[in-house]
Amino acid sequence: MQIKVKKLNENAILPRYGSEFAAGADLYAAEGKTVAAGATEFVHTGVAVELPAGTVGLIFARSGLACKQDLAPANKVGVIDCDYRGEVVVALHNHGTSPRTVEAGDRIAQLVVMPYIAAQFEEADTLSDTVRGAGGFGSTGRA
């Protein structure tokens, strides 16, 4: 699948995969930014993408950055709709107790491109019964 990427900043680096079978393409900071402990900062990537119709770009944390530097997307998973043409910006949250700095060129998140199903929602008075029913929040697997 070909995805057009427009550089919006001279420091921008196109997303790229770190290995042959990586599901997520690395997103890079186009600027340096310090994120205070417990704070969230918008980190610009300097790129805009043209995702094919019927796909969505999902922005996930990079495990190393999240586990070693306490930095992960504030909204847990970012969503880039296929009709969005603006800059890809990652809201990084610092879950730690010390300020953390990302430099221009650092990998800050990963982008997974996936197909999606556009559902049509219809109101109903009843829903079908299941064994699970309305149980949620840890209700399965209990004896």
Domain-located, residue 74: yes
* 90 lies in some domain: yes
Residue 121 domain-assigned (yes or no): no
- Does any domain span residue 80? yes
> What does the pLDDT read at residue 16?
97
Greater model confidence, 143 or 9? 9
Single-letter amino acid, residue 60: F
Counting the structural domains of the chain, the total is 1
Give per-residue pLDDT as tens, 94-107. 999 999 999 999 99
- pLDDT at residue 142 tops 60: no
Domain at 23, CATH number: 2.70.40.10
Q: Tell me the average pLDDT across 24-48.
A: 98
Instruction: Specify if 125 maps to a domain.
Output: no
Cα–Cα dist 59/56, whole Å: 10
Q: Is 58 contained in some domain? A: yes
Three-state secondary structure string covering the chain: CCCEEEECCCCCCCCEECCCCCCCEEEECCCCEEECCCCEEEEEEEEEEECCCCEEEEEECCHHHHHHHCEEECCCCEEEECCCCCEEEEEEEECCCCCEEECCCCEEEEEEEEECCCCCCCCCCCCCCCCCCCCCCCCCCCC
Within a domain: 86? yes
User: Is pLDDT at 117 greater than 90 in this prediction?
Assistant: yes
Residue 55 reports pLDDT greater than 70: yes
**121-133 residue pLDDT tens:** 999 999 999 888 8
- Residue 122 in domain: no
Q: How far, CA to CA in Å, does 99 sit from each of 53, 62, 93, 95?
A: 39, 18, 11, 10
Domain span at 25: 4-115
Tell me the per-residue pLDDT of 70-79, one tens digit each, with 9 for 90 and over. Answer: 999 999 999 9
Would you place residue 136 in the very low, low, confident or very high pLDDT band (cuts 50, 70, 90)?
confident
